[in-house]
Structure 1
Amino acid sequence: MHGGVDGGVNEVSGVGCSLEWKFSQVFGERAVGEEVQEVDIISAIEFDKCGDHLATGDRGGRVVLFERTDTKDHGIPRKDLERTDSSIGRHPEFRYKTEFQSHEPEFDYLKSLEIEEKINKIRWCQTANSSLFLLSTNDKTIKFWKVQEKKVKKISDMNMDATKAAGNGCAAKSCSKPHLSNGGYADKFSSSLNGLSFPPEGIASLHLPVVTSKETSLVARCRRVYAHAHDYHINSISNNSDGETFISADDLRINLWNLEISNESFNIVDVKPRNMEDLTEVITSAEFHPSHCNTLAYSSSKGSIRLIDLRQSALCDSHAKLFEEQDVPSSRSFFTEIIASISDVKFARDGRYMLSRDYMTLKLWDTNMDSGPVATFQVHEHLKPKLCDLYENDSIFDKFECCLSGNGQRVATGSYSNLFRVFGCAPGSTDAATLEASKNPMRRQVQTPSRPSRSLSSITRVVRRGSEGPRVDSNGNSFDFTTKLLHLAWHPSENSIACAAANSLYMYYA
């Protein structure tokens, strides 16, 4: 299912055997026939660097955090998990940790523009003092969040005997004059009380509240808001390896921020022409190199990836390297430029390779070789005859994400009918799997997958475009464009994938 792998891929060594993927967990699974609310659809997924936490964002502006529990419950060191998985059947387990409202819908009165609360990207920052830090962004505003445990202080029972309090109306109702052990009242000792002196036998019924802090709760606090720096919709944010800066990218510009400074940023890439009629391409994705703080890559709607070096100049108008695959003139069509647009670009963990996703394929690039991709994986080859239909129902503009395994030996991306595909990218590897976001991911895809309830307009659109035939062909390729798996993430150190199907988060392991 994939093209030849160039011999230059030498660090992605070893031809691994095919993995057997299994269902692990699901969060937010909908019942049969249940209609999914638009605000509940997941729009971003991200593991933290150690893989102990997972964050999702949705179209309603909420961020939900999940925490890994299997290492805590069973006391298995993380380095031994891969060894024990095969022997005792253990797999990563996560639990719901907390959620908070990150963004609210806004209205820009100067531009008469409604700004959605939808979370476009989430990126984890370095942890400190057991607190979690992350960045989240919608179309216009980036926010820096701190999530920490805080002890909840409560007033415990007062130092009184509950049985006596029940029969003592005065004590239960908090008399204004405390009763003394000798039968007298406090007014007899008012002068002594003012002088802080008490009778020798003490005041037996004086009730003193005690403050205790037994419970802990998670509190999310917005530390900083980075706003008013983008005229166009933000499509990417990425942390720098220096732990101090990050970038944000929209269609025409990339800005560099310091985490501690929210009122100014530096424009490092600007592709806006003087005359907007001369605009030929836009920025679609951007990411920092995982270890070189001066290097970043950004992709464009023309199918190219540019590697830039921040040491060359303050405004990086010129790129250090350009990665693009030349089209064969005879194969060009009306849809060529549309399907060439790169929707996502990711660095491998070692920084040597980059993975890009366009509408039809996944491409693996060697940063030392800009003549072309070292591997191409066909994802939507079966959709070539249907490009007209895809264009008319706007599916051709869907932006699928991609991800790499921590060891760089496998890549993954999503497709339609809530399917996702995993490919081996080591030299000579034939490892390829197509799975469905369900509790039985490896079931035969020749069966018609269950479809969520759809609005009348979407049903009419599907029928009108001539999709009456079988929705899945004999090879398991889907033609159901109403369900799509756009967002997924690979665990940084294990063969575990989290992916989103509408409002449900599915976890798989191998």
Structure 2
Amino acid sequence: MTGGDVAGVKSVPASPPAPLDWKFSQVFGERTAGEEVQEVDIISAIEFDRSGDHLATGDRGGRVVLFERTDTKEHGGSRKDLEKTDYPRTRHPEFRYKTEFQSHEPEFDYLKSLEIEEKINKIRWCQTASGALFLLSTNDKTIKYWKVQEKKIKKVADLNVDPLKAVGNGSIASSSISSVNNLSNTANGEYKDKSSTSLNKDFSAGAIQSLRLPVVTSNETSLVARCRRVYAHAHDYHINSISNNSDGETFISADDLRINLWNLEISNQSFNIVDVKPANMEDLTEVITSAEFHPTHCNTLAYSSSKGSIRLIDQRQSALCDRHSKLFEEHESPGSRSFFTEIIASISDIKFARDGRYILSRDYMTLKLWDINMDSGPVSTFQVHEYLRPRLCDLYENDSIFDKFECCLSGDGKRVATGSYSNLFCVFGSSPNSTEDTTLEASKNPMRRQVQQTPARSLSSSLTRVVRRGGESLGNDTTLDFTTKLLHLAWHPTENSIACAAANSLYMYYA
């Protein structure tokens, strides 16, 4: 009798959830017909915060753009209250442009004669406090810690005295001059002020009460982004990952050969916890491609390599984690190896499931789901680009084979998603026996209607343009366009909603 059997009655395994019906919700920054995409507007990072009420994107121009959820506010109450009603099931989540700021600027390293791009590689939300939003953003070399909060705009009103009594209007001054002219020489040689009565009236206690001091008012508010910390000069190679720790105090940053541990409050010091750099660089066989903290265990983190392996490390074992506690990799049969084997095996992204039990990895051809308690192989493998295997030579020639696609999991862990070419993204069911396999084209949205645009901002991000519409159906065109690719996407932490980036446009889908 299995653990699920009761009184000799065999338990029936739970059936996998039904496939979701995905619908288009919103698009920000969509191009008009014939409009050319500017390189600086291409989105390079995307991230929901823990509540799902805020979404951040970074672009190649070094800007960070924030979006805020509005449908819960417009209908009153918190999301938890709304979840008790039919509202979340009958209406899609809706976001609006909130603010943007210039996070990074292009730099030049004169010592190494190296140009440092302003492109945002990763964004990670930190814990909120006192209504302020905190997040980390990084380019190739420098990490910045930002605080975004509403500030009241102070204006000075009532700058002068009563206009009827103001010197600037000439009333008091003129009365003083007239008072002098009214002075006359009396017969006994004494001067008498004929207008003393009027002067006393002008400067009486009642007149002094009419003097109004400047008043500072703050009726309007404005969002202000302020850089709290700059974490620099700690990486010799390009930073590919940053990840917050569950302790709320530390985070890691990873480049090709090292992983550093930082304290959020200390910007001039970090600890090197992983170093895979060999004594002789000619002996280098693999590099670090992605790193992430465990969502609940502050001592555990995982990092992936260009050889297709994932290493789980425990910081309690040693200060320098040069030995892993677990290794996850899938060996390919020797007969199937080719020139492209190691290239397509390189893992471009890893994500922990929300409960920390599973790790999702994305290489060029597949998505793989790993159970951290089982290192013999992945528990599920999802074929994403298997149909491209005969074209690997062409993909190598045009460098598409080196594209780095991201991956994400739903909050309940029942589904996984990743992007592909022609602005396609795929959703797979990760539950046992699930056959869910949905492919959507983010940019194919007929019957759109234009809505009012956000006023132009000084940073002129293309994401200030918004389009919304209802559901859609996709065509059957399977011709791939390798110049358009959906590399970045994120799953809402508590709902079946996906935000994905195609070039300079941010597309929102829900189910």
1:353 aligns with 2:362: no
Shift of 1:210: 1.9
1:342 aligns with 2:343: no
1:127-182 CA deviation, whole Å, 9 max, x = no partner? 01111100000000000001111110112345878xxx6xx7x959555956789x
Shift of 1:107: 0.2
Work out the CA distance in 2 between the residues paired with 1:54 and 1:48.
Answer: 6
Q: Structure 2 unaligned segments of length 5 or more: list them.
A: 1-12, 181-192, 194-201, 448-474
* Partner residue, 1:16: 17
1:127 aligns with 2:128: yes
Q: Is the 8 A contact 1:354 1:366 kept in 2?
A: yes
Change (3 A) 1:16 1:80: farther
Work out the CA distance in 1 between the residues paired with 2:130 and 2:72.
Answer: 20
1:251-290 alignment runs, 5 A limit: 251-290=256-295
* Partner residue, 1:79: 80
1:322 aligns with 2:327: yes
Secondary structure of the structure 1 residue equivalent to 2:205: coil
Work out the CA distance in 2 between the residues paired with 1:74 and 1:224.
Answer: 37
Q: Amino acid of the residue matched to residue 343 of structure 1?
A: S
* Partner residue, 1:154: 155
* Partner residue, 1:482: 483
TM-score, structure 1 normalization: 0.84
Match for 1:212 among 217, 228, 236?
217
Q: Is the 8 A contact 2:412 2:494 kept in 1?
A: yes
Pick the structure with greater CA Rg: 2
Deviation larger for 336-345 or 13-22? 13-22
Change (3 A) 1:333 1:211: same
1:4-39 CA deviation, whole Å, 9 max, x = no partner? xxxxxxxx9751101110111111111011000000
Shift of 1:206: 3.8
The alignment covers a number of residue pairs equal to 454
Change (3 A) 1:303 1:477: farther
1:68-118 CA deviation, whole Å, 9 max, x = no partner? 111110014312545656786211111111100000000000000000000
Work out the CA distance in 1 between the residues paired with 2:179 and 2:382.
Answer: 91
Work out the CA distance in 2 between the residues paired with 1:291 and 1:13.
Answer: 27
Q: Is the 8 A contact 1:307 1:319 kept in 2?
A: yes
Shift of 1:199: 1.8
Change (3 A) 1:300 1:87: closer
1:295-350 CA deviation, whole Å, 9 max, x = no partner? 00000000000000000001111100000001011111110000000000000000
Work out the CA distance in 1 between the residues paired with 2:160 and 2:14.
Answer: 69
Q: Structure 1 unaligned segments of length 5 or more: list them.
A: 1-11, 189-196, 443-473
Q: Amino acid of the residue matched to residue 303 of structure 2?
A: Y
* Partner residue, 1:145: 146
Work out the CA distance in 2 between the residues paired with 1:19 and 1:86.
Answer: 18
Work out the CA distance in 1 between the residues paired with 2:169 and 2:283.
Answer: 80
Q: Percent identity?
A: 81
TM-score, structure 2 normalization: 0.84
Q: Is the 8 A contact 2:160 2:166 kept in 1?
A: no
Q: Is the 8 A contact 2:166 2:172 kept in 1?
A: no
Work out the CA distance in 2 between the residues paired with 1:227 and 1:49.
Answer: 26
* Partner residue, 1:435: 440
1:242 aligns with 2:243: no
Q: Is the 8 A contact 2:167 2:173 kept in 1?
A: no
Work out the CA distance in 2 between the residues paired with 1:432 and 1:18.
Answer: 8
Q: CA RMSD in A?
A: 2.7
* Partner residue, 1:303: 308
Change (3 A) 1:177 1:300: farther
Match for 1:222 among 227, 234, 238?
227
* Partner residue, 2:106: 105
Work out the CA distance in 1 between the residues paired with 2:36 and 2:220.
Answer: 37
* Partner residue, 1:403: 408
Q: Amino acid of the residue matched to residue 506 of structure 2?
A: L
1:390 aligns with 2:395: yes
